[in-house]
């Protein structure tokens, strides 16, 4: 006797739309991106510099100080190379996703590192943002196309 064929698949597509509320704190950072600025804020209690900054320090619960612009330069704090394809992928693998420690900030910003072969990226690599054209600027991290190595002379890489 054979068992009936079990049902193995059924289509049930879900579509859900939401309003995203960034909050008063992170909205400051997002608005800065639309002006080509990376804005940071300092906790008056522990002196930690957040970028992006919440409205208040998550350690001290004190309101973070007034926003100030960072240079945008930083260095790769850690990174990985994305090698596999997945649905919705924007960039052609392999490409580098990195945590970037912006000069003057104590937090790390996640973004892409391009204009360098993935195998040459290393922790400590100095990088700078590549901003989109004016028409594409938005209250979004996509206002930065990616980060790239700083091209000016920086001394021997393996010093």
By CB under 8 A, name the binding residues for other proteins.
10, 12, 14-26, 54-56, 58-61
In whole angstroms, give the CA distance from residue 4 to residue 97. 48
Return the number of the residue (29 or 147) whose C-beta is nearest other proteins.
29
Return the number of the residue (10 or 159) whose C-beta is nearest other proteins.
10
Is the distance from CB of 27 to CB of 41 less than 8 angstroms?
Answer: no
Least distance from C-beta 16 to other proteins, angstroms? 5
Least distance from C-beta 3 to other proteins, angstroms? 19
Return the number of the residue (13 or 66) whose C-beta is nearest other proteins.
13
Least distance from C-beta 13 to other proteins, angstroms? 10
Least distance from C-beta 159 to other proteins, angstroms? 35
Residue among 61, 68, 56 nearest 29 (CA): 68
Residue among 119, 131, 129 nearest 149 (CA): 129
Least distance from C-beta 41 to other proteins, angstroms? 14
Return the number of the residue (71 or 110) whose C-beta is nearest other proteins.
110
DSSP letter, residue 140: S
Return the number of the residue (55 or 123) whose C-beta is nearest other proteins.
55
Classified as helix, coil or strand, 33 is helix
Q: Which residues contact 57 (CB under 8 A, 6 or more apart)?
A: 43, 45, 46, 48, 50, 64
Is the distance from CB of 74 to CB of 108 less than 8 angstroms?
Answer: no
């Amino acid at each position: 006797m054979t068992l009936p064929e079990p049902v193995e698949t059924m289509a049930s597509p879900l579509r859900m739309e939401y309003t995203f509320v960034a909050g008063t704190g992170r909205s400051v950072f997002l608005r800065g991106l639309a002006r080509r600025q990376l804005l940071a804020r300092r906790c008056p209690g522990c002196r930690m510099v957040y970028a992006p900054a919440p409205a208040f320090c998550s350690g001290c619960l004190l309101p973070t100080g007034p926003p100030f612009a960072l240079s945008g330069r930083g260095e790769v704090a850690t990174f990985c190379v994305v090698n596999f394809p997945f649905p919705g992928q924007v960039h052609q693998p392999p490409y580098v996703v990195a945590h970037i420690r912006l000069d003057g900030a104590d937090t790390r910003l996640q973004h892409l590192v391009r204009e360098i072969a993935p195998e040459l990226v290393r922790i400590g690599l100095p990088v700078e943002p590549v901003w989109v054209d004016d028409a594409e600027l938005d209250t979004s991290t996509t206002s930065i196309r990616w980060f790239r190595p700083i091209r000016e002379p920086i001394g021997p890489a393996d010093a």
